[in-house]
Amino acid sequence: MVQSLQVSDTVTTWVDVCSLYAIAPYTGVCALVKGEQVAIFRVGNGDEVYALSNYDPFSKAFVLSRGIVGDRNGTLKVASPIYKQNFSLTTGQCLDEETVKIPTFGVRVVADRVQVAVS
């Protein structure tokens, strides 16, 4: 018996957003990527970057890129500038309300340019 498996090829397209140096260390910027607001955060002085949805589900506003970047018990996070809920930069999980999670995006730095993944 021969069994066939469905293979789905996923091709990742990278969208160039900005220079790494346009993002001050420990801050975020917002970019419109394929019609969606993406908050991109730079952690430290190097090229460590993270990308989340810019939408704060608690305030119902697109403001997370203006949040405060920090750490909670070893978890990199951003605190919403409005009601201060904290979201993991790696998973999008709300650290204050376990039922809430926001989308994350693939992000990389190539030749000092920040790129966000879209499918």
Only one residue has tokens 């709300």, namely 94
> Residue 73's pLDDT is what?
95
pLDDT of residue 2: 45
CA angle 115-62-17, nearest 5°? 15
Mean pLDDT by 10 residues, the chain (119 residues): 52 94 98 97 97 98 98 97 98 98 98 94
